[in-house]
């Protein structure tokens, strides 16, 4: 059975809700109670720290989205901080990126673009060294890809 620990920590002008453990459909009611408790105690932002949480499915993210939707009309915010790459991927794949306020981009695990590369092209790992001065093509080198050695 998954476990989830929640800690509600008041701070000046906001309250921080720290999540530790597994968040899924069985722990979503516990997350809902913690968020409701945090909203009653203050009139500022409710910051949710998910650095120590593992989202097993999107039910916990749905709870966060509904909570955020309830805070926005009254002028409050619910930023989510510390989301690892796996959580960001789940937010993106569940379509909740527009409803949740993350502390960084959804594609945090994407490699940065190469200098001088057209926009939208990710950096690719290179297995060949650049051509030497006077050479018209890169030098091929041997790469071990298993029991046999092959040229690439």
pLDDT of residue 132: 57
Average pLDDT along the chain: 81
Q: How far apart are CA 33 and CA 86, in angstroms?
A: 24
Measured in whole angstroms, the distance separating CA 77 from the mean position of its chain's CA atoms is 18
Mean pLDDT value of segment 131-151: 57
Q: Which conformational region is residue 66 in: left (phi greater than 0), alpha (psi within -120 to 50 degrees), or beta?
A: alpha
Mean pLDDT value of segment 132-143: 58
CATH classification code of 1-107 = 3.30.750.24
The answer, as to whether pTM is greater than 0.85, is no
Range from 5-14, 15-24, 118-127 carrying the lowest mean pLDDT: 118-127
Considering 38-47, 76-85, 114-123, the range whose residues carry the highest mean pLDDT is 76-85
Q: Are strands 4-11 and 14-23 parallel, antiparallel or unpaired?
A: antiparallel
pLDDT confidence band for 130 (50 / 70 / 90)? low
Reported as type and span, the H/E element at residue 4 is: strand 4-11
pLDDT at 131 over 50: yes
- Per residue in 58-117, pLDDT (tens digit) is 999 999 999 999 999 999 999 999 999 999 999 999 999 999 999 888 775 555 555 554
pLDDT at 120 over 50: no
pLDDT at 4 over 90: yes
Measured in whole angstroms, the distance separating CA 86 from the mean position of its chain's CA atoms is 6
Tell me how crowded residue 46 is: count the other CB atoms within 10 A of its CB: 23
pLDDT of residue 107: 74
CA-atom Rg of the chain in angstroms: 23
């Amino acid at each position: 059975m998954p476990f989830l620990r929640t800690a509600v920590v008041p701070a000046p002008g906001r309250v921080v809700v720290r999540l530790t453990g597994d968040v899924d459909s069985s722990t979503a009611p516990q997350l809902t109670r913690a968020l409701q408790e945090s909203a009653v105690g203050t009139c500022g932002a409710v910051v949710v720290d998910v650095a120590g949480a593992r989202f097993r499915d999107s039910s916990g993210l749905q709870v966060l989205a509904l909570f955020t939707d309830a805070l926005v009309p009254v002028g409050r915010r619910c930023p989510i901080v510390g989301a690892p790459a796996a959580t960001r991927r789940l937010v993106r794949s569940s379509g909740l990126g527009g409803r949740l306020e993350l502390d960084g981009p959804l594609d945090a695990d994407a490699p940065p673009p190469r200098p001088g590369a057209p926009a939208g092209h990710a950096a690719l790992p290179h297995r060949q060294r650049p051509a030497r001065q006077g050479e018209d093509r890169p030098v091929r080198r041997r790469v071990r890809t298993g029991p046999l050695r092959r040229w690439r």
